[in-house]
Amino acid sequence: MKNISNLTVGRELKNRASVGQAVHHSLVMAYRSLLKMRRTPEQFFDVMLQPILFTLMFTYIFGGAISGNVHNYLPIIIPGILVQTVIGTSVISGVQLREDMDKGVFDRFKSLPIARIAALAGALLADTVRYTIATTLTFLMGYLMGYRPDGGLGHVVIAALFVIGCSWAISWIFAFFGVVGRTASSVQGISMLILFPLTFLSNAFVPVETMPDWLQWLAKINPVSHMITAVRDLTNAGTMGQDFALSLIGAAVIVAIFAPLTVRVYMRRA
């Protein structure tokens, strides 16, 4: 018992965690999430099946109609499906956060002298594992179906990192719904309601020019369209243009708004 309650002589008490500590705390929390993922590998089923299923389905359904044949459609659809799938995966972050927060262990995290953002940032950081799986599988499916990106492997890797990074930023939006929502299923419902228009009202599957004017306008300002264009530029031409920059700026803005907002709500809710 001696070493349990033996109060050793102190140190200065500070009322804030430093940035370095916050990063450390977030990394430990991410490690915790990874450990949990390893314990429950079944949670990866949907992440693994969705890219395979969607890529096969959409390519063969739309391929002939939009590009004349499946092969010509691949450079358009693979980046589209990739962005759609990975952003879709980031919805799970919010839902899982809600489930996690309902458990007693979050009380302990809140009562520990750790940076308030760590519990959230750690969980979201670990979720990039999910995005990586979805990204890899989508490209792999594309390759198996005959997709040969002209941009080369290097640019495909950059595109993959780009999509994972942006999705991490977007996951803060769903994390926000996660802390605001009452139950995991309501979080899932709200997130899906946002996700569907966001990913389908874009240039992911069809050329925007075929849409009615008002819809074109929507699809063109949709940030997801910019992301998809940026990925297409990278994989098909090996270039980084305006869309790439815009998407990154957009991602940064999302984090700047939603990270503090989410942490604040998280702190306020019991």
Partner 1 sequence: MKRLYQTVPTGCDWAVEAQGLVKTFGDHRAVDGVHLKVRTGTIYAVLGPNGAGKTTTIRMLTTLLRPDDGSARIFGYDVVKESHIVRQLIGVTGQYASVDESLSAIENLVIFSRLLGMGRKEARQRAEELLEEFSLTEAANRPLKNFSGGMRRRLDLAASLIAQPPLIFLDEPTTGLDPRTRNQMWETIRKLVNHGSTVLLTTQYLQEADELADRIAVIDRGKVVAEGTADELKASVGNSSLQLKIQHSYDMERARQIVEQVLKVRSNTSTETGRITAPMTEADRVTDLLIALREAGIHLAELSVQKPTLDEVFLTITGHGVKKDTAVDSSSAVEEVRV
Cα distances (angstroms) measured from residue 104 to each of 46, 107, 268: 27, 5, 16
In which residue are the tokens 């309650």 written?
Answer: 5
Is 270 one of the binding residues for partner 1 (CB under 8 A)? Answer: yes
Q: Is 182 a residue that touches partner 1 (CB under 8 A)? A: no
**SS3 at position 14:** coil
Residue 127 is given by DSSP the state T
**19 touches partner 1 by CB under 8 A:** no
Site for partner 1 in 230-269 (CB under 8 A): 268
Choose between 10 and 212: whose C-beta lies nearer to partner 1. Answer: 10
Any contact of residue 21 with partner 1 (CB under 8 A)? Answer: yes
Q: Does 9 bind partner 1 (CB under 8 A)?
A: yes
Tokens of 191: 């997130």
In degrees, to the nearest 5, what angle opens at C-alpha 238 toward C-alphas 86 and 166?
Answer: 25
Which residue stretch of 19-27, 85-93, 129-137, 258-266 sits at the interface with partner 1 (rule: CB under 8 A)? 19-27
For the CB of residue 22, give the shortest distance to partner 1 in the complex, in Å: 11
Distance, in Å, from the CA atom of 208 to the CA atom of 203, rounded to the nearest integer, reads 6
d(CA 35, CA 110): 20
Task: In whole angstroms, give the CA distance from residue 159 to residue 176.
Answer: 26
Stretch 98-137: interaction string toward partner 1, x if CB under 8 A: -----xxxxxxxxxxxx---x-------------------
Residues that bind partner 1 (CB under 8 A): 1-11, 13-17, 21, 24-25, 28-29, 31-32, 35-36, 39-40, 103-114, 118, 268, 270
